[in-house]
Structure 1
């Protein structure tokens, strides 16, 4: 069952992610979809959760006030409209970023006298990936950390990891750019992205409707197989390089 509630006090995506994280931790709450523009939250529950329980989850943040909204039952037609939204329109930002990074990587791989250099192209791609994605995370570090803690297996238990992770990506991007310690850098990439993928897989398989934190809190991208492919691609590239070094 899904019910809609009014929420006041939401002023930015950081607020949105914070409230979403708090409400998602309540027993029997399966997913939380918050509209910042409308000030509403669509909460899907395995069984009914009292409004008082939802309000108590926000009690440490008094500026966020939750109340019941008229016609709180989320209609089937609204759900169908959301599901029918253009896939291309939803993922346009991340697709454009991948296209730009891939183009630069291909150009770099061809800029050699010995034919196409696959390893060079992969290194440039990974460099661009981490630098661009860390940039978006650092635009709203708190918002990213709030969103990331909703599904990452490490950030759930150690919230500071969300803040650290953005700088880990930045460091990896710079290391790939400068071609520093290839084995160590690719090994770190393999481990970090594998751990990240576990949380993504859990969320997608459990069909949790939460925001993907890959582009920080700047774009409201839903968690989906696109996120799985993104992480898996980086794991595969780093794995190939590690095998080549060995």
Structure 2
């Protein structure tokens, strides 16, 4: 017998709830058939909360019983973690790990004659590494902003975590001058998907969002900065492939 769930989540023209996207992805991983009810206006959302006497959305119902929001849904499936400490070494680990890998990459890199092309290549590669560090310092915070506009992240929220590591790998690979077949495909893939996603969200859907490109705690508006980041990756992927 197929497992069935009903999910109510906010999805308006200007706001897509990241907790709703993560709830949907979790239900799919647990092989549930989902009736995905979109609350497309603020009024509709408030009416739903009043009707079911809840304070937040999303809300998931399984077998007619209300489970709750994303945190309660994780607990329902036994996926809760022990309470995290107020302190964390993750940012320090991310910074020093990337710094070490960048140093190794530069040492392994063949000596090249200084010039404008070399300057541009190093600038883009180092920028990618720096942006990856910002994301890896707080992958969870990054993912909650990222999946609200990235087209692939909306469907597969775990892609947000992969994105940060792929960007780091591409940046390190470019610094070390690893083979093009190893570096160009991931850089081109995340760059193209990212550029299309940003362009759609900002210039077609006219949504006002915060950019996740410099981490989850960023107040940078989504737009030119994130679009430039992704286009730089695409351009560098093409350059690495044909140089």
Q: Which TM-score applies when normalising by structure 1?
A: 0.56
Residue 191 of structure 1 deviates from its aligned partner by: 2.0
Q: Secondary structure at the match of 2:47?
A: helix
Structure 2 distance, partners of 1:152, 1:188, is: 16
Matched, 1:57 2:48: no
Q: RMSD of aligned C-alpha atoms?
A: 3.2
- Which residue of structure 2 lines up, in the alignment, with residue 37 of structure 1? none
Relative to 1, partners in 2 of residues 1:182 and 1:238: Cα closer, same or farther, differing over 3 Å? same
- Give 1:137 shift: 0.6
Separation of aligned partners in 1, 2:231 and 2:129? 18
CA shift, 1:117, in A, is: 4.8
**Partner in structure 1 of residue 238 of structure 2:** 239
Partner of 2:215: 216
Deviation at 1:128, TM superposition (A): 0.7
- How far has the Cα of 1:57 moved from its partner? 1.9
Gapped runs of 5+ residues in structure 2?
1-6, 18-39, 50-54, 60-67, 72-110
Contact 1:133 1:215 in 2 (8 A): yes
Please give the per-residue CA displacement for 1:50-69, whole angstroms capped at 9, x wherever unaligned: 41336452443499xxxxxx
Matching residue of 2:195: 197
Which runs of structure 2 are paired with 1:1-246 in the superposition (5 Å)?
26-27=10-11, 29-32=12-15, 48-53=43-48, 55=55, 57-59=57-59, 60-61=68-69, 114=113, 116-118=115-117, 120-205=118-203, 206-244=205-243
Q: Is the 8 A contact 1:33 1:210 kept in 2?
A: no
Deviations 1:67-91 (A, max 9, x none): xxxxxxxxxxxxxxxxxxxxxxxxx
Shift of 1:162: 0.7
TM-score (norm 2): 0.57
Q: Take 2:173 and 2:144, find their aligned partners in 1: how far apart are those partners? A: 27
- The count of corresponding residues between Structure 1 and Structure 2 is 163
Output the CA distance in 1 between the equivalents of 2:70 and 2:199.
34
C-alpha displacement of 1:183: 4.1
Tell me by how many angstroms 1:230 deviates. Answer: 2.5
Structure 1 residue 158 displacement after superposition:
0.9
1:7 matched to which residue of 2? none
Unmatched runs of 5 consecutive residues or more in structure 1:
1-21, 35-44, 64-111
